[in-house]
């Protein structure tokens, strides 16, 4: 039972099994050999989070996730000051950040706030210094080599989850973790972790350094000299990602992929997707340029987003990616949608493969729709936004009809193209004048289709037909 909601053991067992079948492999912080009863005895937050994630596509009770979400969020917030088994609470927070619950205009997305809490809880437990964890504990305990390595692995997942959460919210990671992650003791432990985890850690470190370097250049207003400096930095970081991608050749052999002439394994497919997402993040920063934005920039962005969607298309076909898509990949798909729309509706569209771009944009819309687990959630609203933006003749254009792909929102790093595209969408589909000639901007949060429909029914805005 959780907060008045009682579930029979049959449902709990089903959801527990579904979690390990479909979701565990993306963030394997729980021993799959553990029983549901044992997990519950160690941490209620971790137990109920596993049950909730497993219920995301539970056909027998499709509304169970909606009933569990607010109860588990209350449990998560109350666990921030837990004194017993804090590492289990940390695992629960990581899972919530990886597979978050649905949010809407009436519920603020807690991702960014929880990510900061996750990081600080991990440091309070000494996970950032695995070998010296006893320095952060009242008990004078000696950890075995296996336990030290496990703590290093959990810290690595904490860092990756924190950085992805910040990036997905359009913020730079505020905590500089290099001072811990570059220590010789941790680097020696990192080499013993799984190859795919090391790759993710490396790619995230590149993105974090890129964001900080570009913020130092200045993104709000840029001179031509600053834009040329940005170009140099972007080339450096793109080269680093290429170096990480080159390591995938060895990983393919590690995963028994291309070395035997076979198709790449599921693991290597994920590794390639991680690299493609990182390259798209860097490529999206080209949008901050105005004076030096040219055909080459447009082609770089186009190819980066196309690679992401080709991999998503392949993985959705082979392993139904959309059914268990982590937040990080979904946000990357949204960045790709905004990037492709801006490029294909921009002044350099004639230099690009429009047929290929249009097909991949449709792939993206279908993927966003398939990621939806309940009506009105972010994937559902995002697919509607993407469709309307593609059909619009006004987005990314000045009143006189000339192209305008310059960013108006310049504070969200690689997320700015998304938030800027939403602003264009709002200008056309939301901020309209009502029947009395007054502004119909009701102060609605982005993608608030629920309230828009209610207003339309009451005759206060002519949005009903559009939605």
- pLDDT tens digits in sequence order for the chain, 467 residues long: 999 999 999 999 999 999 999 999 999 999 999 999 999 999 999 999 999 999 999 999 999 999 999 999 999 999 887 777 899 999 999 999 999 998 766 667 889 999 999 999 999 999 998 888 778 877 677 889 999 999 999 999 999 999 999 999 999 998 778 777 878 888 889 999 999 999 999 999 999 999 999 999 999 999 999 999 999 999 999 999 999 988 766 655 555 544 444 455 566 899 999 999 999 999 999 999 999 999 999 999 999 999 999 999 999 999 999 999 999 999 999 999 999 999 999 999 999 999 999 999 999 999 999 999 998 899 999 999 999 999 999 999 999 999 999 999 999 999 999 999 999 999 998 875 443 344 433 333 444 544 444 444 444 433 333 32
Q: Is residue 403 helix, strand or coil?
A: strand
Computed from CA positions of residues 452, 458, 460, 464, in that sequence, does the dihedral angle turn out positive or negative?
positive
Give the angle 283-251-318 at the CA atoms, nearest 5°. Answer: 75
Helix axes 86-98, 145-168, angle to 10 degrees: 40
Backbone angles phi, psi at 219, to 5 degrees: -110, -20
Among 275, 420, 329, residue whose Cα is nearest residue 23: 329
Q: 23: which DSSP letter?
A: T
d(CA 34, CA 39): 7
Strands of 91-228, DSSP E:
none
Angstrom distance (rounded) from CA 374 to CA 105? 15
Label residue 57 exposed, middle or buried (CB < 10 Å: 0-12, 13-18, 19+).
Answer: middle
Q: C-alpha distances in angstroms, 270 versus 69, 255, 446, 448?
A: 28, 11, 30, 32
Its pTM stands at 0.88
Extract the tokens encoding 297. 């920039």
Name the packing angle between helices 327-344 and 266-284 (round to 10°).
50
Residue where the block lists tokens 């996970």: 127
């Amino acid at each position: 039972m959780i907060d008045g909601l009682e579930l029979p053991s049959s449902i709990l067992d089903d959801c527990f099994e579904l979690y390990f079948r479909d979701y565990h492999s993306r963030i394997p912080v729980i021993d799959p050999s553990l029983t549901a009863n044992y997990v519950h005895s160690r941490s209620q937050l971790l137990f109920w989070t596993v049950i909730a994630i497993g219920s995301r596509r539970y056909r027998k009770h499709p509304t169970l996730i909606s009933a569990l979400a607010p109860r588990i969020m209350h449990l998560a917030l109350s666990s921030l000051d837990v004194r017993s088994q804090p590492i289990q609470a940390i695992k629960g927070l990581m899972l919530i950040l990886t597979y978050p619950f649905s949010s809407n205009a009436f519920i603020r997305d807690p991702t960014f706030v929880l990510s900061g809490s996750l990081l600080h809880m991990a440091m309070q437990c000494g996970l950032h210094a695995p070998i010296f964890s006893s320095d952060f504990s009242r008990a004078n305990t000696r950890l075995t080599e296996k336990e030290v390595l496990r703590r290093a692995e959990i810290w690595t997942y904490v860092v990756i989850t924190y950085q992805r959460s910040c990036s997905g919210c359009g913020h730079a990671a505020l905590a500089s973790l290099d001072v811990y992650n570059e220590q010789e003791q941790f680097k020696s432990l990192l080499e013993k972790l799984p190859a795919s985890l090391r790759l993710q850690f490396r790619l995230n470190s590149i993105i974090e350094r890129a964001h900080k370097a570009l913020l130092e250049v200045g993104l709000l207003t840029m001179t031509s000299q600053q834009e040329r400096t940005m170009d140099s930095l972007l080339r450096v970081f793109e080269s680093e990602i290429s170096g990480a991608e080159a390591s995938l050749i060895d990983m393919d052999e590690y995963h028994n992929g291309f070395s035997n002439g076979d198709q790449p394994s599921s693991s290597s497919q994920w590794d390639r997707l991680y690299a493609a997402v990182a390259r798209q993040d860097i490529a999206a920063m080209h949008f901050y340029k105005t004076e030096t934005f040219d055909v080459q920039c447009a082609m770089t962005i186009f190819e980066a987003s196309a690679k992401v969607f080709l991999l998503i298309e392949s993985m959705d076909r082979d392993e139904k990616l959309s059914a268990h898509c982590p937040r990080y990949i979904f946000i990357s798909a949204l960045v790709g949608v905004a990037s492709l729309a801006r490029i294909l509706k921009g002044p350099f569209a004639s230099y690009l493969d429009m047929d290929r771009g249009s097909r991949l944009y449709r792939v993206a819309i279908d993927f966003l729709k398939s990621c939806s687990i309940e009506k009105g959630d972010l994937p559902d609203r995002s697919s509607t936004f993407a469709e309307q933006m593609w059909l619009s003749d006004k987005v990314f254009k000045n009143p006189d009809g000339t192209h305008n792909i310059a960013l108006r929102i310049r504070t969200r790093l690689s997320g700015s193209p998304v938030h800027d595209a939403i602003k264009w969408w709002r200008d056309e589909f939301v901020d309209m004048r009502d029947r009395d000639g007054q502004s119909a901007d009701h102060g609605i949060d982005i993608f608030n289709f629920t309230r828009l429909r209610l207003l339309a029914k009451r005759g206060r805005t002519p949005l009903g037909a559009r939605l």
